Amino acid sequence: MALGALIGAYQEDSSVGLYALQPLAGRTLIEYQARCAGAAGCAPIVVLVEMVPVALAAALERLRAEGIAVVAVSDPQEAAAHFESHSRVLQMGDGVAPAMPLVERIVALEERAVLTVRDDDGHHDFERIDNEQRWAGLAMVDGQTLLSTAAMLGDWDLLSTLLRRTIQAGALLVPAGQGLTPYHAQGGGGPQAFDRSLLVASRRARPDWVSRFLLPVAEEFATEQFMPTRVRPSWLVTTALLLTLAGALAISRGYLWPALGLLLVGMPLDIVGERLGQLRLQPLSARSLTRRLLWPASGLALLALGWFQANHGGTWGALATAIAGLAFAEALRIERSGCELPFGHWLFDRRPGIVIAAVAGISGLWNLVLVLLAVYAAASFFLVQQWTQRLQRD
């Protein structure tokens, strides 16, 4: 059954203008709403607005450039005409920004549903349903009800009338739950609190001990700083790749400490880019070539260290040690692919390798750095191999 979305964008305040244009998560509120609907699989996404100001037109154009099928209409009947009678329509309230889990919860239901919050002082900005509940700004309605409501509307508000008729038709009332109240543009808390809640929700378990124990503060700070900017998540991953390649080149020229500085600066950028993509509902593709090149680029840096040492007193053993370390690292990557290991974050990886090189490099014994990395990669590989063989036997 087709799934679309209907979003209101006509309420305004004399001081801030349209609620739909309020800054939120680095973009406008309407962009956040449309991305939520797009991420849930809604198409088309119809925005009901009386007039389209320049700022709103620019926001809708940005959405279209991202491949989100959004269209602005000013007439309720024209809005309804974009949906078939058998369609399911996700209705979003004007100036209301829900967390993505709430959108997914409503979309997953196969029946008419209305998201609610309690009728208390903390939710007085939301539209009242009855003496106990208010509308939380999300509802799943059917195309037939939307079409018939638009046909008999008159001077009434489409979204409010559609909500009432959906409830009268026996829609399921779904409580939003504790801590999941959507952000409302009329609320007094401002968008900063909602931005902060999104930032907290974007935290994920990290795959290695460096990102898990050493980088969280820097990662959190950087993500918070980039959130209100126009910086694209893919730019951060590209920057991490360029810094890694620049580090490999610097190592090959003998600038070892500047190279390690470049590698250390680039360590958290792909994680920050990933979180920024989640916050903007534009997740980075798992097949992104730039992300996939980070691993071989780091290997190139290790190979450059082995080559430099081999030509500056380390003989061929330094290069052989670097190649052995690379071989074990790649074998480890293949061996652990698709496996969830309870100790996985302690294994050799790109970021742990950079940190160990930086710490061990203080001694100035760069051949020792090569040996430590090779031993770490080999030990990690054999540990994973033993673990997987034990699981197969069991």
Give the chain's mean pLDDT. Answer: 90
pLDDT band at 284 (very low <50, low <70, confident <90, very high): confident
Q: Is a pLDDT exceeding 70 seen at residue 151?
A: yes
Tell me if 279 sits within 8 A of 227, measured CB to CB.
yes
Least confident segment among 70-84, 86-100, 176-190, 200-214: 176-190
With the C-alpha atoms ordered 204, 209, 211, 216, is the resulting torsion angle positive or negative?
Answer: positive
- pLDDT over threshold 80, residue 144: yes
| Structure confidence by residue, pLDDT tens digits, 203-216 | 777 889 999 999 99
Q: Is the dihedral of CA 173, 174, 179, 180 positive or negative?
A: negative
Shortest CA distance to 275 belongs to which of 225, 210, 241, 344?
225
CA dihedral for 44, 49, 50, 52, sign (positive or negative): negative
Domains of the chain: 3-191 (3.90.550.10), 205-393 (1.20.120.1760)
pLDDT digits (tens, 9 = 90+) for 267-279: 999 999 999 888 8
pLDDT (tens digit, 9 = 90+) per residue, 185-244? 877 556 777 777 777 767 777 889 999 999 999 999 999 899 888 888 999 999 999 999
- Does residue 166 contact residue 112 with C-beta atoms inside 8 Å? yes
Higher-pLDDT residue of 257 and 125 is 257
Which segments of 41-175 are extended strands (E)? 45-48, 70-73, 88-92, 96-97, 113-118, 133-142, 172-175
CA atoms within 13 A on the CB side of 150: 19
pLDDT at residue 137, as a whole number: 93
Could you give the CA distance from residue 13 to residue 365 in angstroms, rounded to a whole number? Answer: 66
Q: Whole-prediction pTM value? A: 0.76
Candidates 128, 38, 52, 51; CA nearest to 90 is 38
pLDDT of 123 above 60: yes
pLDDT score, position 189: 58
The confidence band for 348, taking pLDDT boundaries of 50, 70 and 90, is very high
Percent of the chain, pLDDT > 90? 67
Sequence-distant (6+) residues with CB within 8 A of 45 are 4, 5, 7, 34, 37, 38, 68, 69, 70, 71
Q: Is the pLDDT of residue 392 over 80?
A: no
User: How far from chain centre, in Å, is Cα 242?
Assistant: 22
Confidence label for 14 from pLDDT (cuts 50, 70 and 90): low
Q: What's the rounded Cα separation, in Å, for the pair 283 and 85?
A: 32
Name residues whose C-beta falls within 8 Å of residue 206's C-beta, 6 or more positions apart in sequence.
Answer: 212, 215, 271, 345
Which of helix, strand or coil describes residue 120? coil
Determine the angle formed by the axes of helices 143-151 and 158-168, rounding to 10 degrees: 130
Cβ neighbours of residue 108 closer than 8 Å, sequence gap 6 or more: none
Which whole-number Å values give the CA distances from 305 to 188, 211, 309, 364, 376, in the listed order? 56, 24, 6, 13, 16
Measured in degrees and rounded to the nearest 5, phi and psi for residue 97 equal -120, 110
Q: What is the pLDDT of residues 31-45, one digit of tens each?
A: 999 999 999 999 999
Per the model's pLDDT, the better-predicted residue between 383 and 341 turns out to be 383
Tell me, what's the pLDDT at 214? 94
